[in-house]
Amino acid sequence: MAYGFAGRALVGALAAVMMAVPFSFSAKAQGEVNVYSYRQPFLIEPLLDAFTKETGIETNVIFAGKGLVERMVAEGANSPADVLLTVDIGRLRGAVDKDVSQPVQSAVLEKNIPAKYRGKNDEWFGLTLRSRVVYASKERVDQDSITYEELADPKWRGRICIRDGQHPYNVALFASIIAHHGEDAAKEWLAGLKENLARKPSGNDRAQVKAIYAGECDIGIGNTYYMGKMLTNEKEPEQKEWAKSVKILFPNADGRGSHVNVSGMVMAKHAPNPENAKKLMEFLSSEKAQQLYAQLNYEYPVKPGVEVSDLVASWGELNPDDLTLTEIAELRKRASELVDEVGFNEGPSS
């Protein structure tokens, strides 16, 4: 089954299933590159616009919240996808493990992206970093530092909010705890965190900030860039008020460092436009694109020397955990199992 693309302007909606979308352009036409993106349009379109302006290469994009890797598997050699953009090391490794990616040899990518944020065979590439931090009430939390380990301390009983324990962002964090302390200690920690929850895990990262603002809990766990998006949200200005009620604490900042994850990319195994795909990937790692990621998305650039935005800088300096993403990816399955073993998503026992 072959699919073409109708052009970026016509396929922007988030959707889980879009297998039957009819496309009018050939995926093998010159001067274009086809992108499958798990990342939302407002995060990616400014970067693609800048790429087209610089190179003249048109981009066609399918956005979806899930199912893109499965779609690439189903499409096989007829897939029109050139580049997959996603978040989370688990999804990057998932694309590799399902054999829908191919290694890319590029001196530009090697120069721009440190080795610890690339697959060992250059089969995936990180583009930005985000840290999984603690959102803390400015009114009800006096301390200005914290550790992940401390989240299981009974002093936080009934005071913590978090999203679904099986969400990839949390699974990666829990995997990092396994890496540092071993399975038994990680399970005990996770059970302690569960008992400290104010409610069953629910909502997204923004919902945790809203819950703190509403007084439902005192601290939450979420990714850094959501705070930037909330503090500058003109369409939903109430989010500014939510965000102003909390402060960011970087866990383990004075020790081993805060857990970080990546957004990233792979070149599709059957990319019909591999040269253009490579140009797009190199562009996204360039100083210009990395600055856009920093200024528009409030993420941490992976390219050395590119500064974070002033807003992100105001939160303090990020000291990233030195754990390799490969190690975290290998422990994700066990971390997911621990979530179920302790009944994390059932919330506190009393």
Binding residues: 225-226
Q: Report, at the CATH architecture level, how domain 131-258+325-346 is classified.
A: 3-Layer(aba) Sandwich (3.40)
Residue 273's alpha-carbon distances to 23, 179, 198, 253, 302, in angstroms, are 17, 39, 50, 43, 25
User: CA 28, CA 16: separation in Å to the nearest integer?
Assistant: 25
Is-contact 88 63, C-beta < 8 A?
no
Report the range of poorest mean pLDDT among 1-5, 82-86, 327-331: 1-5
143 token code pair: 């301390």
pLDDT of 8 above 60: no
What is the pLDDT, as a whole number, of residue 17?
37
Q: What is the pTM of this model?
A: 0.86
What is the pLDDT, as a whole number, of residue 257?
97
pLDDT of 319 above 50: yes
What is the pLDDT, as a whole number, of residue 112?
98
Is-contact 84 33, C-beta < 8 A?
no
Contacts 24+ apart (CB under 8 A), 206-209: 206/230, 206/239, 206/242, 207/161, 207/163, 208/135, 208/161, 208/162, 208/163, 209/135, 209/239, 209/242, 209/243, 209/245, 209/246
pLDDT of 323 above 70: yes
User: CA 177, CA 167: separation in Å to the nearest integer?
Assistant: 16
What is the pLDDT, as a whole number, of residue 28?
46
DSSP for 291-349, please give it: HHHHHHH-PEESSTTPPPPHHHHHT----B----HHHHHHHHHHHHHHHHHTTGGG---
Query: What's the pLDDT tens digit per position in 326-337?
Result: 899 999 999 999
- Residue given tokens 């945790």 in the structure block: 208
Instruction: Summarize the confidence of residues 321-330 as an average pLDDT.
Output: 91
- Residue given tokens 């970087």 in the structure block: 250
What is the pLDDT, as a whole number, of residue 114?
94
What is the pLDDT, as a whole number, of residue 243?
97
pLDDT of 190 above 90: yes
From 7, 2, 6, 61, select the one nearest 37 (Cα to Cα). 61
Instruction: Summarize the confidence of residues 158-163 as an average pLDDT.
Output: 98
Q: Report, at the CATH architecture level, how domain 33-129+261-307 is classified.
A: 3-Layer(aba) Sandwich (3.40)
Q: Provide φ and ψ at 208, rounded to 5°.
A: -70, -40
Residue 224's alpha-carbon distances to 91, 157, 247, 249, 297, in angstroms, are 19, 24, 11, 10, 10
What is the pLDDT, as a whole number, of residue 30?
54
From 3, 21, 25, 20, select the one nearest 81 (Cα to Cα). 3
Average pLDDT of the chain is 91
DSSP for 130-177, please give it: EEEEEEEETTT---S---TGGGGSGGGTT-EE---TTSHHHHHHHHHH
Q: Do domains 33-129+261-307 and 131-258+325-346 have the same CATH topology?
A: yes
Binding residues for Fe cation: 225-226
Where do the domains of the chain lie? 33-129+261-307, 131-258+325-346
Is-contact 292 47, C-beta < 8 A?
yes
Instruction: Summarize the confidence of residues 109-137 as an average pLDDT.
Output: 95
Helix (H) or strand (E) holding 87: strand 83-87
User: CA 62, CA 70: separation in Å to the nearest integer?
Assistant: 14
Instruction: Summarize the confidence of residues 291-295 as an average pLDDT.
Output: 94
pLDDT of 23 above 50: no
User: CA 36, CA 55: separation in Å to the nearest integer?
Assistant: 20
